[in-house]
Amino acid sequence: MRASANGIEIEYDTFGDRTHPAMVLVMGLSMQMIAWDERFCAELASRGFFVVRFDNRDVGLSTHMKGAPVPNIPAILGGDHASVSYSLEDMARDTVGLMDALGIDSAHVAGLSMGGMIAQCLAIHHAPRVRSLASIMSTTGDPSVGEAKPEVLMELLKPSPPDRDAYLAYGIGLWRMIGSPGFPFDEVATRELVGRAFDRAYDPMGVARQIAAIASARDRTPALREVRAPAVVVHGAADPLIAPSGGEATARAIPGAELHVVPGMGHDLPRDVWPRVIDALATNATRPRRS
């Protein structure tokens, strides 16, 4: 399904009863909505939510910003944002636009990795639209926290191969590197996910534009102190891409936020952690908003 939102087209999918409170799921860098496993979404819907997942701009079947400047990541990190096509705040406005298109006045919002950054922007800049906030394996934008392991960052920034078989090998290797050492690695499911993502949309430049949005973002810590929505922060103790200090800083910044650090969890959501994550999201959704 597609909706017009914030001047672009957003591909989305839903689970559950439309009369139930909405839970909007925001995915991370380069990842398409299919990375929110259908079984995860169905289990969340069974807890009494109308679950919405969608493709962020520049991935999947949503609008790709063709013709935009080629991101110059070293220049962006040096403070020159001339090659940045859009911001995390723009991506938050995409999410609000999708909510508008679906007739959702306010929603529980859960974001993973870059999606957590977008969800934080929603809670900061669109507070009345956010009933509760869940920030999963994410960080505040403060460069002193949440640092990636250098070898992981180097692998992530490598050009991805355009050949499908080579891309499958690359993707599986990357997921092995950033995944959860405390849980079994499901190579069959990973191969299927990577292959489906390649077949839906292969756009390395779109991913680079998303990286530019992250690299140009300001530190959200001061603004997060003003968030009044009930918040939960979930982070893997073994996350090599966004170190646990990123989640810890997020929880410190948001008044009253609950922090769940999951032993053995890396930068993914293995099925064995779904019950804990779903419980955290559902419980947080029942907490009152701070006055």
| Residue 232: strand pairing partners | 134, 258
- Looking at residue 157, its pLDDT comes to 86
- Looking at residue 197, its pLDDT comes to 98
Fold designation for 2-285: Rossmann fold (3.40.50)
Dmax over CA atoms of the chain, in Å, equals 53
Q: How far apart are alpha carbons 104 and 98 in whole angstroms? A: 8
Question: Strands, E, within 55-137: which ranges?
Answer: 107-112, 130-136
pTM of the model: 0.98
pLDDT at 212 over 90: yes
pLDDT tens, 215-232? 999 999 999 999 999 999
pLDDT at 202 over 90: yes
pLDDT tens, 97-131? 999 999 999 999 999 999 999 999 999 999 999 99
* Confidence at 291, pLDDT banded by 50, 70, 90: confident
pLDDT at 290 over 90: no
